[in-house]
Amino acid sequence: MDVHGNVLIPLDHDSLQDLADVIAAQNISAVAIGLLHAYANPAHERAIRDALLASGCTVEITLSSDVCPEVREYERIMTTVCNAYVQPLMARYLRALETTLADNGYSCPLYLMTSGGGMTTLESAIRYPIRLVESGPSGGAVLASRLAERLQEQRVVSFDMGGTTAKICLIQDYQPQTARNFEIARAARFQKGSGMPVRIPVIEMIEIGAGGGSIAHVDGMGQLRIGPESAGSVPGAACYGKGGTKPTVTDANLLLGRINPSTFAEGKMPLDVPAAETAIAADVAAPLAVSGLEAAFGVTEMVEENMANAARIHSVEHGADLSTFTMIAFGGGGPLHAVRLAEKLGVQKVIVPANSGVGSAVGFLQAPVAYEVVRSRYMTLDQFDPDAANQVIGAISDEAHSIVSGSDPNAEISLTCTAYMRYVGQGHEIQVPIPAGTLTAQDTATIKASYEAAYGCLYGRTIPQRDIEILSWSMVAATVLPALDIIPNDTPAKGCDPIETRTVFVPSQKAQTDIPVYWRPDMPAGAEFTGPALVAEPQTTTFVTDGFKGRIDADANLILERI
């Protein structure tokens, strides 16, 4: 096929039987089929698949024209191969899960979260398991975007910190940033360019190796480093008492008093304070010639500065001023570090939602059933072809709609069309909204204005008299969710009593201080307090510095605002 989808060389059908024999002889379980210009015309890829099936092949087959019908052959073929690689394993697992649930009386539909922030059906997940990559963190972004809408916060940065990583996502007008590029299996952890690039719909996040299990050490230059190596869940932090000897962020938080060693994990896992002291002293305090307390504070400050620096770079790349954003923090470690991170970024308000320790799982429950289809069809605005555009939009609309409607034929479904566009001569494109309905030549001006608005928002200027080209078209079909109730902001203020005081290292005082500890499940709507303080709950703890005050809103969210 050439770039326009015209046949250059007829497919050699005779060779396909030999290929089928090789597949059978080598006990191959999955096949990826990727031809150079299959995005323009998938006929040859489909013919190969049909021939293999006709010959008796029972393998899982992935076509590049199905999983990623877009230009850029390296990313397209990589996505196809990665999908084929995991497909047999995922198919077996998901089928077994479906059977087990049915055997135990669960007759309801089974949905899975995708990297793009929507739920998908079991059949779709089996066919395109590559779309499940990074699905967990996308649930957190859904939680943050839904909460932002309920609280009428139009500019939000979500902060999700767990055991191994911290993830930051920009959310504007209640919609998280999205992208089409993602790297998996990076040879150098968190180093861009060291992994396998795949093209799937993803919620765009910046991710760094900063979690509770991130290991602290002093390098050859005498500098304190945190991560990206992690102690993981086994053996875990030194204070877990499961054989870990390396100091972690969790060990540092324990020594600073932010974590109660007797109530960690709801009291089911008492922490070993002496083990944490030994680890911090040996690997951090001694090499830096400081006290154990100073070493622990250095670990938390360094991990928070690493996160702040990553957030600054990410926001600059997207033309965003984080000082005008509200932070929504969740995950087991997010609330512990959110306020200090906010202070470093100039953020004025931090929101810790109810059940924040399992925020991503809560986000799953709030996500729509959704599916995105992207297909390349090149044209320029100077030579805009509305008939060709309508043809590709119609095709991807039908495909996306059919997958989503399969989950519930009676569901109301919204369709959102965008295009990936750039100035002629540029190497990277941006996503631009496309008018709904059948396009005509008169829509060219509207599309151009939308592109220039999006481009100007990112780069602060446009390029006059330069033609604009469209590389790919995207259609997202999603079930329409019920309208959200707005959380009122007029809850009467109430006092609340701490359950205890604890000796905690307060950064502004550079010393240990007795501060109040509040038990969040017992705090009524309207409860107010002033930092420094700790707000404990079953899955996590929020550390509030003396620069912030807090209150509980009508929906049990913890609202922290700079004094």
Q: Does the structure show a pLDDT above 90 at 476?
A: yes
Of the ranges 49-53, 180-184, 189-193, 481-485, which is most confident?
Answer: 49-53
> Whats the size of the chain, residue-wise?
563
Can you read off the two tokens belonging to residue 530?
């002033």
Any residues with CB less than 8 A from the CB of 29 and at least 6 apart, and which?
A: 59, 60, 88
User: CA–CA separation, 291 vs 511, rounded Å?
Assistant: 12
User: CA–CA separation, 241 vs 297, rounded Å?
Assistant: 22
Q: How large a percentage of the chain has pLDDT more than 70?
A: 99
Closest alpha carbon to 510 in 301, 314, 322, 327: 301
Confidence tier at 181 by pLDDT (50, 70, 90): confident
| DSSP assignment of 349-388 | EEEE-TTGGGHHHHHHHHPPBEEEEEEEEEEESTT--HHH
The pLDDT assigned to 27 comes to 87
The pLDDT assigned to 426 comes to 92
Average pLDDT, the chain: 93
User: CA–CA separation, 89 vs 92, rounded Å?
Assistant: 5
Q: 395-423, pLDDT tens digit by residue?
A: 999 999 999 988 778 889 999 999 999 99
User: CA–CA separation, 115 vs 135, rounded Å?
Assistant: 4
The pLDDT assigned to 278 comes to 96
The pLDDT assigned to 225 comes to 94
Exposed/middle/buried for residue 534 (C-beta within 10 Å: 0-12, 13-18, 19+): buried
* Greatest Cα-to-Cα distance within the chain, rounded to the nearest angstrom: 82
Neighbours of 24 (CB within 10 A): 15
Closest alpha carbon to 47 in 26, 61, 58: 61
Mean pLDDT, rounded, for 338-356: 96
Residue showing tokens 């020594």 = 255
Q: Does the structure show a pLDDT above 90 at 78?
A: yes
Q: 148-163, pLDDT tens digit by residue?
A: 999 999 999 999 999 8
Closest alpha carbon to 292 in 301, 304, 279: 279
Q: Does the structure show a pLDDT above 90 at 210?
A: no
> pTM, whole model, 2 decimals?
0.91
Q: 425-454, pLDDT tens digit by residue?
A: 898 899 999 999 999 999 999 999 999 999
User: CA–CA separation, 308 vs 335, rounded Å?
Assistant: 15
The pLDDT assigned to 491 comes to 84
Q: 257-269, pLDDT tens digit by residue?
A: 999 999 898 889 9
Phi-psi region of 262 (alpha: psi -120 to 50; beta: other; left: phi over 0): alpha
Q: 290-314, pLDDT tens digit by residue?
A: 999 999 999 999 999 999 999 999 8
Q: Does the structure show a pLDDT above 70 at 272?
A: yes
Neighbours of 437 (CB within 10 A): 10
Closest alpha carbon to 208 in 329, 284, 314: 314
Confidence tier at 242 by pLDDT (50, 70, 90): very high
Per-domain residue ranges of the chain: 14-107, 214-302, 370-479
Cross-strand bridge partners of residue 560: 350, 550
Confidence tier at 190 by pLDDT (50, 70, 90): low
Among the listed ranges 220-224, 227-231, 283-287, 331-335, which one has the minimum average pLDDT value? 227-231
User: CA–CA separation, 307 vs 296, rounded Å?
Assistant: 17
User: CA–CA separation, 115 vs 84, rounded Å?
Assistant: 17
Neighbours of 552 (CB within 10 A): 23
The pLDDT assigned to 207 comes to 86
Q: 114-129, pLDDT tens digit by residue?
A: 999 999 999 999 999 9
Confidence tier at 232 by pLDDT (50, 70, 90): confident
Confidence tier at 188 by pLDDT (50, 70, 90): low
Q: 505-514, pLDDT tens digit by residue?
A: 999 999 999 9
Q: How large a percentage of the chain has pLDDT more than 90?
A: 79
Establish whether the linkage from the previous residue to 274 is cis, with ω within 30° of 0. no
HSE, side-chain direction, 13 A CA sphere, residue 303: 37
Distances (CA, A) of 62 to 73, 115, 241, 281: 15, 19, 46, 53
The pLDDT assigned to 100 comes to 97
User: CA–CA separation, 295 vs 251, rounded Å?
Assistant: 11
The alpha-helical segments, DSSP class H, found in 104-181 are: 122-127, 135-151
The pLDDT assigned to 347 comes to 97
Can you read off the two tokens belonging to residue 418?
């965008």
Q: Does the structure show a pLDDT above 70 at 337?
A: yes
Exposed/middle/buried for residue 347 (C-beta within 10 Å: 0-12, 13-18, 19+): buried
The pLDDT assigned to 189 comes to 60
Residue 487: phi and psi, rounded to 5, are: -75, 125
Any residues with CB less than 8 A from the CB of 171 and at least 6 apart, and which?
A: 141, 144, 145, 148, 155, 156, 157, 158, 177
